[in-house]
């Protein structure tokens, strides 16, 4: 597998024009098919809630902006089968109780869960975390579909959920009704479930400020969708030129939709294998490839080297406008996440690219997004509706 060229010095990269966004994807905390220790494979095992919370605390301690739990947050899969899915909203709500600053982004689709119920489930994370929730808009499909059709359906889901968020209960279609005890419910649907809870006394179960919306970008259609509707676009690219192009498409789409392009954060996904020496990191990557193939890497950039060299790459990409930040996918959830928080973050701090303390209490604040009440930005277009 080709490796990206390595710059010679972190100081050679120009300064980022604004604070860098840094997050990690901990989806593999629910599934263990391709996550590896520093010296060998980890056999699939049942979901360990305490271990998951430990990983969340580590990300929080490292001052990271956000943690994402993707739609493939699975329950104890074998090498060729999936026995079930974990509910990302439930996991994020639990993590809210043991973290203080990191954003919690849960992937919740609006096919298996009705939009109003999804809005309330995500809002429960936001209340529990004090404004640190985010939503990755997604749509599960039993069969592959063209990206244009996927984008059209996701846009309708975003529109439905944000309409609930920007309205108030009882004010129109999609409002969430409370029972006589002031409780709300997200109904069970197959392997998916959500939680019944009680809002604060006399309180509204919906947020006054919409949680940030995250959209995965994999083509021009999804880049246009992200520009129209998202606060964060996560792009999977393998080189800097492709990243620059997709970021430009997202920002141009935002401008065409009447939005400020500066209010859309574009994060590049990187699958990372980190070690004290480059040779050790690449040997571990070769082990992963021998055992699992390239499936765990997906279509992201693969980086196997030291944390200091990763800091150089981050600085270079940020300096040329390839990304506003990075969403790192640790190969080993233990050793690589520790390397990110204990070595990469300090290297970026020394270069003046990352914060040394938290000054914001909400995910919107950490991302540099306005806290004003969001408007309904997800109006579907005629072209997408007809896709």
* Residue 362 token pair: 């909400």
Q: What is the pLDDT of residue 275?
A: 95
Q: What is the pLDDT of residue 370?
A: 83
Q: What is the pLDDT of residue 103?
A: 97
Name residues whose C-beta falls within 8 Å of residue 305's C-beta, 6 or more positions apart in sequence.
3, 6, 274, 275, 278, 281, 282
The β-bridge relationship of strands 213-217 and 133-138 is parallel
Q: What is the pLDDT of residue 269?
A: 96
Q: What is the pLDDT of residue 328?
A: 97
Calpha distance 201→219 (Å, rounded): 45
Strand partners, 225: none
Residues of the chain with pLDDT under 50: 1-8, 12-16, 32-34, 36, 40-41, 44, 77-80, 169-184, 186-191, 193-202, 373-387
Q: What is the pLDDT of residue 109?
A: 83
Calpha distance 199→203 (Å, rounded): 6
Tell me: the pLDDT tens digits for 208-230?
678 999 999 988 999 999 999 99
CATH of 10-385, one of 1.10.4190.10, 3.40.50.1220, 2.60.40.10, 3.20.20.30: 3.20.20.30
pTM attached to this predicted model: 0.81
| DSSP H helical ranges for the chain | 49-61, 88-96, 115-129, 147-166, 220-229, 240-256, 278-292, 307-319, 335-339, 345-350, 363-367, 382-385
Element (H, E) at 215: strand 213-217
Domain ranges of the chain: 10-385
């Amino acid at each position: 597998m080709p490796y990206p060229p390595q710059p010679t010095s972190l100081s050679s990269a120009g300064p980022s024009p604004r604070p860098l966004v840094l997050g990690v994807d901990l989806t593999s905390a629910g599934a263990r098919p391709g996550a590896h220790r520093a010296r060998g494979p980890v056999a699939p095992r049942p979901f360990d809630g305490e271990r998951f919370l430990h990983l969340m605390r580590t990300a929080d301690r490292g001052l990271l902006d956000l943690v994402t739990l993707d739609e493939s947050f699975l329950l104890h899969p074998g090498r060729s089968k999936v026995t079930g899915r974990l509910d990302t909203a439930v996991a994020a709500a639990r993590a809210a109780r043991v973290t203080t600053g990191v954003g919690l982004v849960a992937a919740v689709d609006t096919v298996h869960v009705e939009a109003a119920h999804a809005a309330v489930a995500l809002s429960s994370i936001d209340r529990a975390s004090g404004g640190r929730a985010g939503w990755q808009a997604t749509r599960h499909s039993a069969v592959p579909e063209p990206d244009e059709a996927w984008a059209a359906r996701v846009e309708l889901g975003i529109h439905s959920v944000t309409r609930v968020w920007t309205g108030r209960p009882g004010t129109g279609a999609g409002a969430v009704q409370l029972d006589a005890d002031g409780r709300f419910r997200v109904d069970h649907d197959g392997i998916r479930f959500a939680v019944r809870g009680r809002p604060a006394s006399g309180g509204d179960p919906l947020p006054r400020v919409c949680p940030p919306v995250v959209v995965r970008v994999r083509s021009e259609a999804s880049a246009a969708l992200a520009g129209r509707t998202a606060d964060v676009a996560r792009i999977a690219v393998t080189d800097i030129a492709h990243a620059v192009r997709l970021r430009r498409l997202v920002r141009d789409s935002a401008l065409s939709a009447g939005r400020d392009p500066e209010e859309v954060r574009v994060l590049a996904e990187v699958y990372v294998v980190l070690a004290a020496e480059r040779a050790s990191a690449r040997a571990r990557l070769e082990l992963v490839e021998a055992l699992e193939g390239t499936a765990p890497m997906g279509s992201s950039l693969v980086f196997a080297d030291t944390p200091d060299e990763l800091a150089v790459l981050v600085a270079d990409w940020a300096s040329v406008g390839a990304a506003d930040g990075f969403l790192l996918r640790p190969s080993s959830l233990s050793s690589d996440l520790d390397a990110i928080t204990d070595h990469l973050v300090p290297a970026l701090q020394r270069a003046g690219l990352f914060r040394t303390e938290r000054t914001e209490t909400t995910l919107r604040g950490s991302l540099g997004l306005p806290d004003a009440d969001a408007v309904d930005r997800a109006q579907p277009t005629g072209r997408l509706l007809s896709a």
